[in-house]
Structure 1
Amino acid sequence: MTLDETDRAILRALAQNADQSTSRLGQKLGLSQPATWRRIKRLQEAGVIAGRRLMLDSASLGFGVTVFLGVKLATKGRVSLEDFERAIGAIPEVQTVEHVLGLYDYRVRVIARDLADFERVLRRRIMTLPGVGDVEANVLLSEERLSGPLEQ
């Protein structure tokens, strides 16, 4: 699918606020509500817009610590990657699981109420998973949410 400048403007606007109505978005871009809706629908059908997600503020919900783990599997042959992904994905404190190339096999984002809570999750849930070898933890200090480029 070839994106024109109007499609890119729609994507930029939705990336900043996916809740805005098609009327409001159309007004900002100089389009009618039906034209805006048709373009969004076309972008969804083409898979350019893969979905919309509600973003929760972890700190407001009592989760004050975010930790990124680098996880290296010790026994890749004995434990399938799918089994590890399924097991770690079932842990409620795990927000994302990314299979990566590099020093570690996985990058995992974990939220916890505090460091003691994170230690409990790490010791009782993550380190007991089959196949887990080396684990490196990096505590998040601050985070800026920046939209990525929308260029082809």
Structure 2
Amino acid sequence: MTLDDLDRMILRALVANADQSTTQLAAKLGLSQPATWRRIKRLQEAGVIAGRRLQLDAAKAGFGVTVFLGVKLATKGRVSLEDFERAVGAIPEVQTVDHVLGLYDYRLRVVARDLADFERVLRRRLMTLPGVGNVEANVLLSEERRPGPL
């Protein structure tokens, strides 16, 4: 699918506020509501818009610590990547699992209530996963979200 300028304007507006109605969006873009709705529907059907998510403030929801983990598997031949991904995906504190190229095999984003809770998750859940070798932790101090262009 080739995106035109109007498609990009719709995407930027929805990224800024996915809750706005098609009527509100149409008014901002100078389109009719049906035309706006048809474009959004076409973007959804093409998979450009893959869904809408609720974004929570982790700290206000009781998770005051975010840690990024670099995980190097001990022996890739003895454990499949799929086994590791399936096991780590079952841990609710693990927010994202990224298979990366570089020093580590995976980068995980983990949330916890506090450092003691993170230690519990690390020792009892993460370090017992199949194939885990080296782990490096980086605690998030602050985060500035800067959505870039698509």
TM-score by shorter chain over 0.5? yes
Query: Is this contact kept in 2: 1:16–1:147, CA < 8 A?
Result: no
CA distance in 2, matches of 1:8, 1:71: 36
CA distance in 2, matches of 1:32, 1:100: 44
Could you list the runs of 4 or more consecutive aligned residues of structure 1 that deviate by over 2 angstroms after TM superposition? none
Q: Which amino acid letter does the alignment assign opposite residue 66 of structure 1?
A: T
Pairing of 1:22-41 with structure 2 (within 5 A): 22-41=22-41
Deviation at 1:148, TM superposition (A): 2.0
* 1:140 corresponds to 2:140: yes
Say how many residue pairs are matched. 150
* 1:94 corresponds to 2:102: no
CA distance in 1, matches of 2:128, 2:90: 13
CA distance in 1, matches of 2:117, 2:144: 24
What CA deviation, in whole Å up to 9, does each residue of 1:64-109 have, x standing for no partner? 0000000000011111100000101101100000000000000000
Q: Which amino acid letter does the alignment assign opposite residue 47 of structure 1?
A: G
Partner of 2:110: 110
CA distance in 1, matches of 2:36, 2:142: 36
Provide structure 2 residue ranges, at least 5 long, that are not aligned to the other structure: none
Normalising to structure 1: TM-score of the pair? 0.96
CA distance in 1, matches of 2:145, 2:23: 26
Provide structure 1 residue ranges, at least 5 long, that are not aligned to the other structure: none
CA distance in 2, matches of 1:81, 1:149: 32
* 1:50 corresponds to 2:46: no
CA distance in 2, matches of 1:23, 1:142: 36
Normalising to structure 2: TM-score of the pair? 0.98
Deviates more, 1:103-112 or 1:2-11: 2-11
Q: Which amino acid letter does the alignment assign opposite residue 63 of structure 2?
A: F
Partner of 1:129: 129
Pairing of 1:6-85 with structure 2 (within 5 A): 6-85=6-85
Q: Tell me the percent identity.
A: 86
CA distance in 1, matches of 2:43, 2:84: 34
